[in-house]
Amino acid sequence: MSNKPMGSIRKIQNNCRQATYLIEKRQHTTLTSKEYIYLIIHLAGCSVCRLFRRQSRQINQLMQHIFRKSNAASHSLDDKLKQEMQEKINQKLSP
């Protein structure tokens, strides 16, 4: 039995993982030419990542609005909560 379908699925997952990373990176900094071209090509063929990009933009805009509207200094995460969040992220990302 061939592993081609599973290999294709893993390749797509890795491509989407890279694309979502670049989508987030682009909101905070400038992409290299290579990254930008990769992202544009990927988004042209991936409706899931296009949806992620729209949702990510909306979330970022809402968060910016919330922090602009209120006193940003009064909103911060304590170190314990940050550590718990990082642990959860690491658990989700580990294979």
Residue 23 has a CB neighbour count (10 Å cut-off) of: 21
Say what the pLDDT of residue 33 is: 95
User: pLDDT tens, 15-47?
Assistant: 999 999 999 999 989 999 999 999 999 999 999
Say what the pLDDT of residue 9 is: 54
Say what the pLDDT of residue 82 is: 85
User: pLDDT tens, 39-88?
Assistant: 999 999 999 999 999 999 999 988 888 777 765 556 677 888 888 888 88
Exposed/middle/buried for residue 13 (C-beta within 10 Å: 0-12, 13-18, 19+): exposed
CA distances from 42 to 21, 51, 52, 55, 60 (A): 12, 13, 13, 17, 22
- For 9, the token pair is 């699925």
